[in-house]
């Protein structure tokens, strides 16, 4: 019953090999096995999006995936956004535009926003709203989050071709 | 929340998956995208002894639109279908795929899982009713093709036999002069529809040659509203015919009170969404490009 399974998951560029119970959720693997507690558990029922990470560059809810399903895949979490001590352009914009209050939803919001800007350099207001339709915020009323994402898109455009403020090529 | 313990198996081929399921027997469940199953396991509504992960079976996520029939592999995710050439060519497919849940769920959830779950709130079975689809399965006794009509037998219960898996879905490309729409009303993006209505009309010289109407979240199974179709077929989509079709759709439904709304509220939604879907389908049949996405409370 319940044999442990050896998996390798690359998280923020670094491969991690662990023996895990098959029932371990990806979010628990990230938080408890790897100690990366930036990814939050909000609802634990796949509704709130606080646990959003990028799996092979696509946003998914890590509370609704088994760690064994991510074996051999690449995961990016909020901890991977900062490079060389500099925040990612999206993080800077969230700070500048007061796009967070309690901060609980923020790691998930940032990952959804990053995915949007990596696949759509000039998103419309509607596209920004749609990109965070799976991320719930109980504090901000969303307006500042939308502003922050739009401003990050502008920032990234301004410095496109070079390294952005956060040091992250986008 | 942790699911109860289970053994995990990763199948590399359909044959291997079927062999594992047949060998393990009653306690085994198929795992595809996990977007329905994991919630059930975490709440411990089900405690399987084994999960057979089919998520990495090669080539089971292909979308083939080369011929007259469109084939979609069971593992194609909602987002992949929504971004595909068939969603571009057949707007009702885009309505359905892009209206399911949110970006994160659409990146993992699969069409096969949506159909296999036997959940009347899942959108693909309703869409396949609208497009007269078929389900390709493979089990210990070989492959077979099932009609979508009758496939979902009861709440969470399908015609799949033990150890049988869905390998793909298929439907005919809508004919020229045909247009469809899939309209939903939901609480928010990461929520199942309160009511969904799919309509596909083929119109020639202003007359309805054929029509199909299906309802989701409107009873214990997806519902084909044949009497509503009959109100439209042969007519010219006059206001009276459309009203009668909406009434017949309401009569075909068997909604129940739940957190999403009362049965009465849902009946009103069925009437409204049926009329809306007919109107969009008619415009699309005429070659117009019409945007359509879920409406929220
Ligand atoms: C927050 C949220 C909101 C959602 N909103 C919607 C919505 O608006 N509309 C909608 O349609 N859906 C919605 N869903 C459900 C989603 O579409 C699921 O992806 C889908 O229902 C199941 O697909 P899956 O690949 O995740 O299947 P899984 O969860 O892996 O499996 C579901 C069931 O099907 C079985 N199964 C899976 N694949 C096969 C196969 N190929 N052959 C045989 N059996 C199989 C499994 O054993 C299980 O019983 C939502 C889900 C969540 C979490
Ligand atoms: S914790 Fe995963 S969606 Fe809420
Ligand atoms: S900042 Fe508090 S939930 Fe979003």
Q: Does A53 touch chain B (CB under 8 A)?
A: no
Which ipTM did the prediction report? Answer: 0.95
Q: Residues A35, A99: one domain?
A: no
- Reference B168, options B233, B113, B207, B239; nearest CA is B113
Same domain, A102 and A68: no
- Indicate if A14 and A55 belong to the same structural domain: yes
Nearest CA residue ID for atom 4, ligand 3? A137
**Atom nearest to A100 CA in ligand 3:** 1
Residue A94 domain-assigned (yes or no):
yes
- Separation of alpha carbons B224 and B222, rounded Å: 7
CA of A60 to the centre of ligand 2 (A): 10
pLDDT at A2: 63
| Whether pLDDT at B244 is above 60 | yes
Comparing B52 with A2, the larger pLDDT belongs to B52
Same fold, B7-53 and B178-296: no
pLDDT at B32 over 80: yes
> Which ligand neighbours the alpha carbon of A141 most closely?
3
Report the residue from A47, A60, A136 with minimal CB separation from B107: A60
Are residue A12 and residue A68 in the same domain, yes or no?
Answer: yes
Cα torsion B135, A45, B11, B14 to 10°: value is: 0
Ligand 3 atom closest to A101 (CA): 1
Per-residue model confidence (pLDDT) at position A160: 76
Query: Across the strands, what pairs with B144?
Result: B137
Whether A47 is in a domain gets the answer yes
The answer to whether residues A60 and A121 belong to one domain is no
Size of interface A-B (CB pairs under 8 A): 91
Is residue B171 within 8 A of residue B133, CB to CB? The reply is: yes
Say if residue A130 is in the same domain as residue A64: no
- Check: CB of residue B59 under 8 Å from CB of residue B145: no
DSSP strand pairing (B50-53 vs B28-31): parallel
Q: Per the domain annotation, does A169 fall within a domain?
A: no
pLDDT digits (tens, 9 = 90+) for B252-276: 999 999 999 999 999 999 999 999 9
| A4 inside 8 A of chain B by CB | no
- Chain A residue with CA closest to B2: the answer is A23
CA of A135 from ligand 3 middle (Å) equals 10
CATH of B178-296, one of 3.30.420.610, 2.60.200.30, 3.30.390.50, 3.40.50.150: 3.30.390.50
Return the closest-CA partner of residue A66 out of A57, A55, A78, A58: A55
Query: In angstroms, rounded to a whole number, what is the distance separating the alpha carbons of residues A89 and A153?
Result: 8
Does B27 lie at the interface with A, CB-CB under 8 angstroms?
Answer: no
Task: Looking at the CA of residue A139, tell me the nearest atom of ligand 3.
Answer: 2
Tell me the shortest Cα–Cα distance from A86 to chain B, in angstroms: 27
Contact A64 B38 (CB under 8 A): yes
- Among A33, A60, A80, the domain boundary falls at A80
Can you give the residue range of the structural domain that contains A20?
5-80
Q: CATH classification of B7-53, choosing from 3.30.43.10, 3.30.70.360, 3.10.129.10, 3.40.640.10?
A: 3.30.43.10
Kindly state whether B45 is in contact with chain A, defined as any CB-CB distance less than 8 angstroms: no
A2 vs B5, B10, B42: nearest CB: B5
| Ligand 2 pocket, residues with Cβ under 6 angstroms | A 41-44, 46-51, 61, 63
Residue A65 sits in a domain whose CATH number is 3.10.20.30
Last residue of a domain, one of A60, A80, A100: A80
Chunk chain A into consecutive blocks of 10 residues (it has 170) and report each block's average pLDDT, rounded to whole numbers: 89 98 98 98 97 98 98 98 96 98 98 98 96 97 97 91 51
Tell me: the pLDDT tens digits for B150-167?
A: 999 999 999 999 999 999
Looking at the fold, whether A96 and A150 belong to one and the same domain comes out as yes
Q: Which residues of A touch B3 (CB under 8 A)?
A: 23
Bigger pLDDT: B296 vs B145: B145
**Average confidence (pLDDT) over B40-51:** 97
Residue A37's Cβ-count burial label (10 Å; 0-12, 13-18, 19+) is middle
Do A34 and A96 lie in a common domain? no
Which of B4, B42, B51, B104 to mutate against chain A (most A CBs within 10 Å)?
A: B104
Residue A135 CB less than 6 A away from ligand 3 = no
Does residue A170 form part of some domain? no
Domain residue extents for chain B: 7-53, 178-296
Structural domain total, chain A? 2
């Amino acid at each position: 019953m319940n044999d442990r399974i050896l998996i390798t998951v690359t998280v923020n560029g670094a491969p991690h090999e662990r023996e895990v119970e098959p029932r371990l959720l990806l979010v628990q693997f990230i938080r408890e096995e790897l100690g990366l507690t930036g990814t939050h558990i909000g609802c634990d029922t796949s509704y709130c999006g606080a646990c959003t990470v990028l799996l092979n560059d696509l946003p998914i809810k890590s509370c609704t995936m088994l760690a064994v399903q991510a074996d051999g895949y690449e995961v990016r979490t909020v901890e991977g956004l900062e490079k060389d001590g500099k925040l990612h352009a999206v993080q800077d914009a969230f700070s500048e535009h007061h796009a967070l209050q309690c901060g609980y939803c923020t790691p998930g919001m940032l990952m959804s926003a990053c995915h949007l800007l990596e696949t759509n350099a000039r998103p419309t207001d509607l596209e920004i709203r749609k990109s965070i339709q799976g991320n719930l915020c109980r504090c901000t009323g969303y307006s500042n989050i939308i502003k922050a994402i739009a401003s990050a898109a502008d920032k990234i455009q301004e410095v496109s071709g070079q390294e952005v403020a956060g040091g992250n090529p986008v | 929340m942790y699911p109860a313990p289970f053994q995990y198996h990763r199948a590399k081929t359909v044959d291997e998956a079927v062999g594992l399921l047949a060998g393990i027997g009653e306690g085994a469940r198929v795992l595809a995208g996990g977007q329905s199953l994991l919630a059930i396991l975490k709440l411990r509504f089900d405690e399987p002894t084994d999960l057979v992960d089919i998520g990495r079976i090669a080539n089971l996520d292909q979308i083939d639109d080369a011929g007259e029939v469109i084939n979609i592999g069971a593992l194609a995710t909602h987002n992949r279908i929504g971004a595909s050439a068939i969603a571009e060519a057949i707007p009702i497919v885009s309505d359905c795929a892009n209206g399911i849940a949110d970006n994160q769920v659409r990146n993992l959830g699969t069409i096969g899982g949506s159909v296999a779950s036997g959940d009347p709130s899942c959108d693909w079975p309703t869409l396949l009713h609208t497009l007269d689809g078929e389900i390709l399965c493979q089990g210990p006794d070989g492959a077979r093709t099932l009609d979508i009509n009758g496939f979902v037998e009861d709440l969470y219960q399908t015609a799949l036999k033990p150890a049988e898996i869905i390998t793909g879905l298929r439907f005919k490309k809508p004919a020229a002069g045909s247009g469809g729409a899939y309209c939903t009303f939901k609480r928010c993006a990461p929520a199942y529809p309160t009511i969904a209505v799919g309509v596909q009309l083929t119109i020639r010289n202003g007359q309805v040659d054929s029509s199909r109407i299906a309802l989701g979240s409107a009873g214990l199974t997806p519902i084909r509203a044949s009497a509503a179709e009959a109100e439209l077929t042969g007519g010219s989509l006059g206001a009276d015919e459309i009203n009668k079709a909406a009434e017949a759709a309401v009569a075909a439904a068997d909604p129940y009170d739940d957190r999403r709304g009362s049965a009465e509220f849902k009946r009103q939604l069925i009437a409204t969404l049926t009329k809306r879907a007919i109107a969009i389908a008619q415009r699309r049949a005429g070659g117009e490009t019409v945007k359509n996405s879920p409406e929220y409370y």
